[in-house]
Amino acid sequence: MSPETIWGERWLNCDQPIAREYMEVACKKQSLVVLAADKNSMQELNDLIEDVGDYISALKTHVDLIDDWSKNAWDDFIGKAKEKNLLIFEDRKHGDIGKIAKKQMGGIYNSRAWADLITAHLISGISVLDGIQEAWSEVGKSGGVLVLAQMSSEGNLLELPGYTDSVIKMAKLHSACFGFIGNGSRPNELKELRKKVGQGKMIWTPGVNLNANDAVLGQRYGDPKDAILSGSDAIIVGSGIHNATNPKDAAKKYAEISWNALLQRRE
Ligand code: 5BU
């Protein structure tokens, strides 16, 4: 079956090349899983990608939580992820004014060179998207921003009346906007978000874990199938996979659940 048949309206309306690339990879791998690779050493990251890389469709990183980070080790790791056909998504949560966000795409980590996707808050206005876009274009790369419309953590201030609506309104028409982060732990909120976003943008959701009791420090978890059926296009799973006794089996399980949910959604 073609990606168009599988993704339906989303394929037709999300026509950015990078969104199409994600949807194609998801079909090839039969997985809507984005791995949140929250490990602290390069060795652990390399082992993890080797183990589960075939069952995920994108790799989400926090480059600044690695103890033994070096440019060479990182480039190697990104190379391995690319061999597994993964989009690289740095969860930077930019939030500064445009010209600083642009500079922050450089620096030691130089995420403009390797990140295909990056997160941003719109708390300081739309210029953050302009800054990120300019940074990519200066190194001859294009990428997409996942804008935080909701969060999974308890008591987050994005829930204040009007915030999510304003973010969607501002970001939806910006060419750097790949889509929105939605709250994977609350299917009803997600359904509302999908209605507001429409079909033309991705919604990716953290806060997904089959074991809701694993949530610590204000994290909230919801079910992967519910998230996809409520309009999410990718489940972002961290500890549900990397803390599992057998990460490969866990990744396969999340992949299967997410893929079956997508098939069910199109019926
Ligand atoms: P977990 O181990 O599945 O809870 O990891 C979740 C990941 O998603 C982690 O890297 C967070 O930084 C990230 N995340 C989140 O949990 N909630 C949010 O609202 C956003 C990102 Br945005």
pTM: 0.98
Q: Residue 267: what pLDDT?
A: 73
Distance CA 89, CA 238 (A): 13
Half-sphere exposure of 101 toward its Cβ, with a 13 Å CA cutoff?
Answer: 26
Q: Single out the residue of 173, 174, 182 nearest to residue 231, CA to CA.
A: 182
Determine whether the shortest distance from the Cβ of 237 to ligand 1 is under 6 A. yes
CATH of the domain at 261: 3.20.20.70
Q: Distance from the CA of 107 to the center of ligand 1, in angstroms?
A: 24
* pLDDT over threshold 90, residue 197: yes
Q: Which domain covers residue 37, as residue numbers?
A: 3-266
* pLDDT over threshold 90, residue 215: no
Q: Distance from the CA of 44 to the center of ligand 1, in angstroms?
A: 18
Q: Distance from the CA of 261 to the center of ligand 1, in angstroms?
A: 21
Helix (DSSP H) and strand (DSSP E) numbers for the chain: 13, 8
* 18, 116 contact by CB (below 8 A): yes
Determine whether the shortest distance from the Cβ of 182 to ligand 1 is under 6 A. no
Q: Residue 163: what pLDDT?
A: 98
Of all atoms in ligand 1, which is nearest to the CA of residue 38?
10
Strands 87-94 and 202-205: unpaired
Residue 162: pLDDT band (50, 70, 90) is very high
Q: Which residues of 5-54 form beta strands (DSSP E)?
A: 33-36
Q: Residue 240: what pLDDT?
A: 98
Write out the catalytic residue numbers: 93
Of all atoms in ligand 1, which is nearest to the CA of residue 93?
22
Structural domain count of the chain:
1
